[in-house]
Amino acid sequence: MARKPRTIITCAITGAIHTPTMSDALPYTAEDIAHQAIAAADAGASILHLHARRPEDGGVSVDTEHFRAFLPQVKQATDAVVNISTGGSLTLSIADRVKPAETFSPEMCSLNMGSMNFSFHPLAKRYDSWKFDWEKDYVEGSEGNIFRNTFKDIREAATRLAPHDIKFEHECYDVGHLYNLKFCMDIGLFKAPIFIQFIFGILGGIGPEVDNLIFMKRTADRLFGDDYRWSVLGAGGAQMPLATTASQMGGNVRVGLEDSLFISRGVLAESNAQQVAKIRRIVEDLGCEVASPDEAREMLGLKGGDRVNF
């Protein structure tokens, strides 16, 4: 029997776009981000998707000094691939959002493949108290925000980052984003193999049903043939079920507190590493093996950890 491909586990340590600090486990200081990223890598994550936050109040940050405060530590302690977010926040310009990736030239960075509603305002009703002052207004205000990722923004990000030979994690929240990506590939913005993160369950994007995963995968097969690798991110309660399904379909998986604060229904996760350990256990129990960082580098055609700037 042919050996199943290895499963790459990405761990998204601390998103800032849609995850305020509503769990004490969510890291927001540089020390905690580094500590949890290293523990997630030790637990089996071969890629670490990283945002920065303001250490004083956990707010969204694209300040390069906030990234500098944890990147060298992560690099020294692990061999994991570092993937820097260019998502930033719902209100920043693309030039500001790509600055950390331009500065640190990581092996990977995220790239969001279309403009969309990206809302988490229903969360506001679930909380009576907030850890920091900015959080309630930010969460409620997401009802009126557009997450802007126009073709011009995508071209600007790709052009600014082209000299750095960075592999993009193309974040596709709906089927139209796959067609956007195809258009961008056809005009020469990205090199094969591209890496697509199929995202399910964000309010504004496609819902977290298995049918939708199959539809996204079938569409990507038609558009990209052998020129792509893929992974699945289910937001909130869809995280583990969709990751499990993806791994059984030969795909890769993304977990992490950025996308779900929970380890099981109604139970907050203690850490990112706990989520990585859980999906690793499931993947291995079901007969697959997880990819090491070097195997992930080979599968995705990455430039190598010695060519980053931190």
Residue nearer to ligand KMH on the CB measure, 150 or 281: 150
> Which amino acid does the sequence have at 84?
I
Closest listed residue to residue 48, CA positions, set 14, 10, 89, 101: 10
Nearest distance in Å: CB 169, Zn ion: 9
**Residue 85 binds Zn ion (CB under 5 A):** yes
Q: Which stretch binds Zn ion (CB under 5 A): 12-20, 28-36, 73-81, 130-138?
A: 12-20
Smallest distance, Å, CB 99 to Zn ion? 15
| Residue 90-129 contact track with ligand KMH, rule CB under 6 A, x = bound | --------------------x-x-----------------
Binding to ligand KMH in span 20-79, by CB under 6 A: none
Query: What is the footprint of ligand KMH within residues 187-216 (CB under 6 A)?
Result: 199, 202
Q: Which of 171, 216, 253, 263 binds ligand KMH (CB under 6 A)?
A: 171
Residue carrying the six token digits 């405060």: 69
Contact 284, 34 (CB under 8 A): no
Among 15, 58, 201, 256, binds Zn ion (CB under 5 A): 15
Euclidean distance between the first and the last CA atom of the chain, given in angstroms as a whole number: 43
Q: Among residues 135 and 258, whose Cβ is nearest to ligand KMH?
A: 258
**Which residue lies nearer to Zn ion by CB, 83 or 105?**
83
* Beta bridge pairs of residue 200: 234
Q: Can residue 252 be called a binding residue for ligand KMH (CB under 6 A)?
A: no
From the list 26, 70, 259, 291, which residue makes contact with ligand KMH (rule: CB under 6 A)? 259
Helix axes 175-186, 210-224, angle to 10 degrees: 10
Number of H helices, E strands in the chain: 11, 14
The DSSP H or E segment spanning 275 is helix 272-285
Query: With CB cut-offs between 5 and 8 Å by kind, which of ligand KMH, Zn ion, none does residue 112 bind?
Result: ligand KMH
Tell me: does residue 181 bind ligand KMH (CB under 6 A).
no
Which residues are 228's β-sheet partners?
A: 194
Strands (E) in the chain, as ranges, are: 9-12, 47-50, 52-53, 60-61, 81-84, 108-112, 116-117, 146-147, 167-172, 194-200, 228-234, 252-255, 262-264, 267-268
Least distance CB 16 / Zn ion (angstroms): 8
Give the footprint of Zn ion on this chain (CB under 5 A): 15, 85, 87
